[in-house]
Amino acid sequence: MPLAIAAVLLLQSGSADSSALRHANGLVPPAVTALRVDRPPSLDGRLDDPAWTLAPASTGLLQTDPDEGNAVSESTEVRIIYDADALYVGVRLFDAQPHSIVSRLGRRDANTHSDEFRLLLDSYHDHRTAFEFIVNPAGVKKDVLRGGDGKLSDNSWDPVWEAATSIDSLGWIVELRIPFSQLRFSPAREQVWGVRFTRWIERKNELALFPFVGKKESGLASRFAHLVALQDIAVPKRLELLPYTLARGRYDQPKRAGNPFDDGNTYYGGAGLDLKYGVSSNFTLDATINPDFGQVELDPAYVNLTAFEQFLDEHRPFFVEGTQIFDFGGNGGGVNKFKSTPLFYYSRRIGREPQGEPTSSGDFKDVPTSTTILGAAKLSGRTADGWSVGVLDAFTARERATVADMTSGGRYGDEVEPPTNYFVGRLKRDFAGGNTNIGFLTTAVHRRLDTPALDFLPTTAYAGGVDFLHRWHNNTYTIAASLGASYIGGDTLAIKEAQRSSNRYFQRPDAASFRYDPHRTSLAGLTGDVYLNRVAGVWNWGVAGSTTTPGFEVNDFGFQERVDRISAAASVGRRWTRPGKRFRQGYAYLTVGPSWNYDGDAIQRAVGTFGYAQLRNFWSLDWSATYSAAVTDDRLTRGGPLAAKPAGWQASGDVYTDDRKRVSEYGFASYASDAAGGWSLNLIPQLTIRPSQAVSLSFTPGYFTGRAAAQYVSRVPDATAAATLGVRYVFAELRQQSFYVTWRLNATFSPVLSFQLYAQPFTFTGHYTGFKELRAPRTFSFNRYGQDNGSSVTPDDPAVCGGAAPGTCSGIDPDGGAGPAAKFALYNPDFRTRSFRTNAVLRWEYRPGSTLFLVWTHSRSGYFPYDASFDLGRDLGPELFRDRPTNVLLVKVNYWLSL
Residue 279 confidence (pLDDT): 63
When pLDDT is cut at 50, 70 and 90, the band that residue 474 belongs to is: confident
pLDDT above 90: residue 47: yes
pLDDT tens column, 328-368: 999 999 999 998 889 999 999 998 999 999 999 998 999 99
Residue 182's nearest CA partner among 224, 117, 131 is: 131
pLDDT of residue 380: 78
Q: Which residue has the higher pLDDT, 148 or 429?
A: 429
pLDDT band at 293 (very low <50, low <70, confident <90, very high): low
Q: DSSP for 785-843?
A: TTTSTT-EEEET-HHHHTTPPTTSEEEEETTTTSSSPPPEEEE---EEEEEEEEEEEEE
Which has more confidence, 186 or 143?
143
Please answer whether residues 655 and 667 qualify as being in contact, where contact means their C-beta atoms are separated by less than 8 angstroms.
yes
Q: What is the pLDDT of residues 204-219, one digit of tens each?
A: 999 999 999 988 888 8
Q: Above pLDDT 70, what percent of the chain?
A: 95
At residue 459 the predicted structure's pLDDT band, cuts being 50, 70 and 90, is: very high
Q: Nearest-CA neighbor of 175 among 93, 90, 107?
A: 90
How far CA 779 is from CA of 511, 631, 634, 766, 782, in Å, comes to: 16, 10, 11, 25, 8
The tens digit of pLDDT for each residue in 553-565 reads 999 999 998 999 9
Q: What is the pLDDT of residue 6?
A: 33
Measured distance between the N- and C-terminal CA atoms of the chain, rounded to whole angstroms: 28
Q: Which of 2-6, 18-22, 791-795, 807-811 has the lowest mean pLDDT?
A: 2-6
Mean model confidence pLDDT for the chain: 90
User: What is the band of 5 on the pLDDT scale with cuts at 50, 70, 90?
Assistant: very low
- Is the pLDDT at 697 greater than 90? The verdict is yes
Are 885 and 860 in contact by the 8 Å Cβ rule? The answer is yes
* CA nearest to 546, candidates 557, 524, 562, 559: 562
**What is the spatial distance between Cα 238 and Cα 286, in angstroms, rounded to a whole number?**
11
Residues 353, 416 contacting (CB under 8 angstroms): no
Over range 394-411, report the average pLDDT: 91
Q: Is the pLDDT of residue 58 over 60?
A: yes
21: closest CA among 298, 196, 224? 224
Residue 103, pLDDT > 90, answer yes
Pairwise pLDDT comparison (410 vs 496), residue with the higher score: 496
Query: Of 253-262, 591-600, 700-709, which gets the smallest average pLDDT?
Result: 253-262
pLDDT of residue 43: 93
Under 8 Å between Cβ of 525 and 553: yes
Mean pLDDT score, 493-505: 96
C-alpha 328/C-alpha 742 separation (Å) is 33
Instruction: Go through the chain and tell me how many residues it has.
Output: 899
User: Residue 580: CB partners within 8 Å, gap ≥ 6?
Assistant: none
Rg of the chain taking only CA atoms, in angstroms: 30
The pLDDT confidence band at residue 296, using thresholds 50, 70 and 90, is: low
Query: Which residues make Cβ contacts (< 8 Å) with residue 196, sequence separation at least 6?
Result: 118, 119, 120, 130, 209, 210, 211, 223, 224, 225
What pLDDT score was predicted for residue 141? 95
Residue 188: per-residue pLDDT:
84
Q: What is the mean pLDDT of residues 576-591?
A: 92
- Which range has the worst mean pLDDT, 268-282, 295-309, 582-596, 681-695? 295-309
Q: How confident is the model at residue 898 (pLDDT cuts 50, 70, 90)?
A: confident
Asked whether the predicted pLDDT for residue 3 surpasses 70, the reply is no
DSSP 8-state secondary structure symbol assigned to residue 685: E
What is the C-alpha separation between 394 and 387, in angstroms, rounded? 23
Give the amino acid at 303. V
Q: What is the pLDDT of residue 20?
A: 44
Residue 53: alpha-carbon gap to chain centroid = 46
In angstroms, the CA 623 to CA 309 distance is 28
- Residue 431 pLDDT: 86
Has residue 299 got a pLDDT over 80? Answer: no
CA-based torsion, 212, 215, 220, 222: positive or negative: negative
Q: Please state the separation of Cα 657 from the chain's center in Å.
A: 26
The C-alpha atoms of residue 533 and residue 476 are separated, in whole angstroms, by 8
pLDDT of residue 256: 76
> What is the C-alpha to C-alpha distance for residues 571 and 535, in angstroms, rounded to an integer?
11
pLDDT value for 522: 97
CB neighbourhood size of 27 (10 A): 9
In angstroms, rounded to a whole number, what is the distance separating the alpha carbons of residues 74 and 79? Answer: 17
What is the percent of the chain where pLDDT is above 90? 71
CA of 829: how far to CAs of 637, 731, 778, 814, 870, in Å? 17, 11, 26, 19, 15
**Full strand arrangement of the beta sheet holding 162-168:** 35-36, 76-82, 86-94, 171-179, 162-168
What is the sign, positive or negative, of the torsion defined by CA atoms of 384, 386, 390, 391?
Answer: negative
What are the backbone dihedrals phi and psi of residue 347, each rounded to the nearest 5 degrees, phi first? -65, -15
Q: Between residues 145 and 526, which one has the greater pLDDT?
A: 526
pLDDT at 80: 97
Please give the Cα distance from 302 to 313 (Å, whole number). 13
Chain segment 815-871, per-residue pLDDT in tens: 987 889 999 999 999 999 999 999 999 999 999 889 999 999 999 999 999 999 999
Q: In whole angstroms, what is the distance from residue 432 CA to residue 473 CA?
A: 12
pLDDT band at 294 (very low <50, low <70, confident <90, very high): low
Cα(558)–Cα(342) distance, integer angstroms: 7
CB 119 within 8 A of CB 176: yes
- Cα–Cα distance for residue pair 433/27, rounded to 1 Å: 12
pLDDT higher than threshold 50 for residue 8: no
Cα gap 566→602, rounded to integer Å: 9
Nearest Cα to 24, choosing from 228, 224, 229, 230? 224
Q: In this predicted structure, what is the pLDDT of residue 819?
A: 86
Q: In the prediction, which pLDDT does 281 show?
A: 58
The CA angle 469-475-209, to the nearest 5 degrees, is 125
**CB of 149 closer than 8 Å to CB of 432:** no
User: Please, are residues 507 and 500 in contact by the beta-carbon 8 Å criterion?
Assistant: yes
CB 149, CB 327: distance < 8 Å: no
Region 616-641 average pLDDT: 96
Whether residue 534 is predicted with pLDDT greater than 80 in this model: the reply is yes
Cα gap 237→254, rounded to integer Å: 55
| Residue 12 binned pLDDT confidence (cut-offs 50, 70, 90) | very low
Q: Is the pLDDT of residue 16 over 50?
A: no
Cα separation, 425 vs 508, in Å, equals 36
- Read off the pLDDT band of 620 (50, 70, 90): very high
Query: How are beta strands 283-289 and 5-11 bridged, if at all?
Result: antiparallel
